[in-house]
Homo-oligomer: A and B are copies of this chain.
Amino acid sequence: MADKVLVFSRFAKSMLARFAEKFELLETGGKPANEVFSAAELADVRALLTMGAQPLGRETLDALPSLGAIVCYGTGYDGVDLDAAAERKIAIGNSPAANASAVADLAMTLLLGLMRRLLPADAYLRGGGWSGARPSPLLRPPRGLTNARVGVYGMGEIGRKIAARVAAFETDVAYHSRSRHDVPYRYVGSLGELVEWCDVLLIAVRAGPDTERIIDAAMLKRLGADGVLVNISRGSVIDQPALIAALADKTIAGAGLDVFEREPYAPDALSEFPNVVLTPHIGGHTLEAHVAMQDCVIANLAAFFAGKPLPYLVKR
């Protein structure tokens, strides 16, 4: 009999296909597990598959007395109550770096799309504005990337990959993170100093209590009227109402966002700005990234059921 895995988040069927070949999946469809399965059914569940950002706290763990492993699909595990899991000696696995290239690519997609005004350009052309010689929203040339000062906040796998990509666009790249890394970019000791200096702020920091709403009204003011930011990390890193205010009163020039404070909700106020580019958390959503993340999930689950340590274990 195949080992049972509780599928805690809502996943598309296609994302579960490879797991279903190897494990018996108990799918909640994103509903609370105890609404979908009986206490008896949950009693012997030893492993759980989740999206790292989805809240997973004591109450859920209490309903799963045999749980030994929480396996996150993706890099993040910020929704998991780490203390509660540690008390119960539950191992937490993730898919570190498996989607880093895809996420870094999306950061560049948002940045370039924003700076080169891809959305208004495409709409102007498709709407017949170009052929009809109608007043163009593109007339005034935008600032491009050449020689721009780019600040990367966070220098994990994703931050490194973003820095490597944006450096190829003839930019000046600096970064801030908790500690200095062995990378060919200038280290800036404080986030405020980095934000003050840069024209483009790329946010790739891990979400957590220490980074919550760290990009606040004061930081946005330091980014300045010609500054743009891109966030592919987590919505919690930005004070979203402050960002909306900063876009409204032109404290900053624009934003590219793949992540939001409360997903899947992106405030209507954001959707109304022409100088933003918005995507529904698709950073890691490419074929290659999914295969790589699935490889990590399968390796974690297989190791766990074989009584071995998780190969991609989240270390606290």
- Which residues of A approach B to under 8 Å, CB–CB? 12, 14, 101-102, 105-106, 108-110, 112-113, 116-119, 121-122, 124-126, 129-131, 133, 136, 138-147, 164-165, 167-170, 264-266, 271, 277-280, 282, 285-290
- B287–A143 CB distance below 8 A: yes
- B109–A113 CB distance below 8 A: yes
- B118–A280 CB distance below 8 A: no
- B280–A146 CB distance below 8 A: no
- B167–A279 CB distance below 8 A: no
Residues A112 and B105 in contact in the complex (CB < 8 Å), given A125-B278, A279-B125: yes
- B116–A109 CB distance below 8 A: yes
Residues A125 and B287 in contact in the complex (CB < 8 Å), given A112-B105, A140-B14, A265-B131: no
Cα-based distance from A110 to B288 in the complex (angstroms): 20
Residues of B with C-beta under 8 A to A282: 116-117, 121, 138
27 A-B pairs with C-beta separation under 8 A? A12-B139, A101-B144, A101-B169, A108-B112, A108-B169, A109-B112, A109-B113, A110-B118, A112-B112, A113-B113, A117-B282, A118-B119, A118-B279, A119-B119, A119-B122, A121-B278, A122-B279, A129-B280, A131-B266, A141-B286, A141-B287, A143-B287, A144-B287, A144-B289, A146-B288, A164-B168, A167-B168
